[in-house]
Structure 1
């Protein structure tokens, strides 16, 4: 659900598996003191304390709540607030979304771990718990992973995977992003993505779900304050069309939407 919405952001979105911080002390220093250890250990511990912790706070709004090519709300858009605490490569977060014109509230509580498989292959794995309240109530547990190949910033291919325990299905998305710095403060990133549904959104149909493309922009007011926005269009493909047909919905299933976020880092 919301893991795609704040994807960049939170994006970014929003929606887990955990490991340990790779800045731990060598085993020999942990087991027994050696000559000179009194000078080495405090220095390493000070570096760990200074560099490992970070807190991010984000507030945003989307004109529609679109995920997996579908508008999840009958009316209006959605406000988002996300708080994330990072320690090394491990991030814990709490994301809440609230409909601006509909009785809908969604919580995403999660844990994710990021690491590099190789120098240019970035990996994220994680878990999140989703709770929805409002006119109806539902919940889910999701396990997700993402791979991104970052050799060239102007063309970054990635693949993401999410598994739902409630639906016993998964969703795969292939994406291409192209990052361009227009100035020291302003950057833009056109993107395109192709989604495939395997019983994650519909039990009856598998395969091509939607094609989405758009433009993301980011403006840095300072080192700790960043404004981001996007404009996106999603084209419904076979899985969404069959779902709409089964529900008797003859409306155009394509979605156009936009959003804006402000991020504070500490």
Structure 2
């Protein structure tokens, strides 16, 4: 069922979500505006960003989170002295699903070529069922190497009571001063974050990202990615009696505006 030819019943079922989303949007924008005023009195002026994105499937941790269809995202963020406050809203284009992420993160410069990030986000999602979670996350990135940028990402979810680790390696290639191609690989490990019955290798993913800088404040990017299921996903599929391929291929586009 396409979003254009949705049934009237489907439209009604989403109206309440749309009203709540609009209220949350207004509250978020007011909050961010207040933060902007407070930040402006500091030594350095803050920077703000607005992003929109679309993916043909909603894939995280090697799993498709929707029965079918893709998802659109909108992001608002404000950064001041390495502190970032952000709000994210996502809406599925073919099923009844809305997700909100509200969070903050802080960037640490540990050494000349080593950066770290720590943060927290609150997740609320609405669909056939309503749910929420709290996530604490961190990342460590090594810059300055000739060909590669290695990184490790850690996420702990309070609702699941587990954590997820990703080891990644990317290699940005500047074709010219405006266009960059970045192949990457990711190895994910699940420890009761996505499933409770198995700890260890979850998925292996590789892909290619392309970014075109339109000017100093705007950029357009796209990616194509392929995820290969490993032990954690296979074990969960066996328990849920899921048949067929567990691998995922998906793509997306992303527009970024900063000011």
TM-score by length of 2: 0.83
Pick the aligned partner of 2:43 from 25, 33, 48: 48
Unaligned runs of 5+ in 2: 1-39
Out of 152, 174, 190, the position equivalent to 2:183 is: 190
Q: Which has the larger radius of gyration?
A: 1
For 2:238, what is the secondary structure of its paired residue? helix
- Between the two proteins, the alignment pairs up a number of residues equal to 220
Deviation string, structure 1 residues 202-238 (Cα, Å, up to 9, x no partner): 0111100000000011100100110011000000001
Secondary structure in 2 matching 1:252: coil
1:138 to 116, 131, 135: 131
After superposing on structure 2, the runs of 4+ consecutive aligned residues of structure 1 that deviate more than 4 Å are: none
TM-score, length of structure 1 as denominator length: 0.81
Q: How does 1:20-99 map to 2 (within 5 A)?
A: 48-49=43-44, 52-99=45-92
SS of 1:151's partner is coil
The answer on 1:258 being equivalent to 2:236 is: no
Gap runs ≥5 in structure 1: 1-44
Matches within 5 A, 1:80-159: 80-152=73-145, 154-159=147-152
RMSD, aligned CA: 1.3
- Seen in structure 2, the aligned counterparts of structure 1 residues 47 and 84 have a Cα distance that, compared at 3 Å, is closer
Match of 1:248 among 226, 229, 241: 241
Cα distance 1:47–1:243, how it changes in 2: closer, same or farther (>3 A)?
closer
